[in-house]
Amino acid sequence: MALVDTKKMFEMAYKNGYAVGAFNVNNMEITQGIVSAIAEEKAPLILQISRGARSYASMSYLRAIIDVAVAENPEIPICMHLDHGDTFETCKQCVDDGFTSVMIDASHYSFEENIAMTKKVVEYAHDHGVVVEAELGQLGGIEEDVVGLSHDDVMKHLTDPDQAVEFIEKTGCDSLAVACGTSHGAFKFKSEPKLALDVIDKIAAKLPGYPLVMHGSSSVLKEFKDLINKYGGDMPNAMGVPESAISEAVKKAVCKVNIDTDLRMALTAKIRQVFCEKPGEFDPRKYLAPGRDAIKDMVKHKLHVLGCAGKAAECM
Catalytic residue among 83, 105, 160, 262: 83
CA distance 189 to 80: 30
- Nearest alpha-carbon partner for 307 in 252, 262, 234, 241: 252
32 vs 299: CA distance, rounded Å: 11
Q: State the pLDDT at residue 147.
A: 45
Q: How far is Cα 94 from Cα 124, in angstroms, rounded to an integer?
A: 11
The pLDDT score that the predictor gives to residue 156 is 55
Q: Say how many C-beta atoms besides its own lie within 10 A of residue 89's C-beta.
A: 10
pLDDT value at position 152? Answer: 53
* Tens digit of each residue's pLDDT, the chain (316 residues): 789 999 999 999 999 999 999 999 999 999 999 999 999 999 999 999 998 999 999 999 999 999 999 999 999 999 999 999 999 999 999 999 999 999 999 998 999 999 999 999 999 999 999 999 999 987 644 445 544 444 455 455 689 999 999 999 999 999 999 988 776 666 656 666 778 899 999 999 999 999 999 998 888 899 999 999 999 999 988 888 889 999 999 999 999 999 999 999 999 999 999 999 999 999 999 999 999 999 999 999 999 999 999 999 999 9
* For the chain, domain boundaries: 7-315
Q: What is the pLDDT of residue 2?
A: 86
Neighbours of 192 (CB within 10 A): 7
- Residues 243 and 286: their CA atoms lie apart, in Å, by 31
Sequence-ordered list of residues with C-beta below 8 angstroms from that of 5, at least 6 positions apart, any chain: 79, 100, 101, 129, 130, 131
Give the per-residue pLDDT at 149: 40
- Is 260 known to be catalytic? no
CA 85, CA 76: separation in Å to the nearest integer?
26
* pLDDT at residue 180, as a whole number: 87
State how beta strands 78-85 and 140-143 pair.
unpaired
At 240 the pLDDT is 86
Q: In what order do the strands lie in the sheet with 183-184?
A: 146-147, 140-143, 183-184
Give the pLDDT confidence score for residue 141 in this predicted structure.
42
22 and 256 in contact (C-beta within 8 Å)? yes
Torsion region of 309: left, alpha or beta (phi above 0 gives left; psi -120 to 50 gives alpha)? beta
CATH class of the domain comprising 7-315: alpha beta
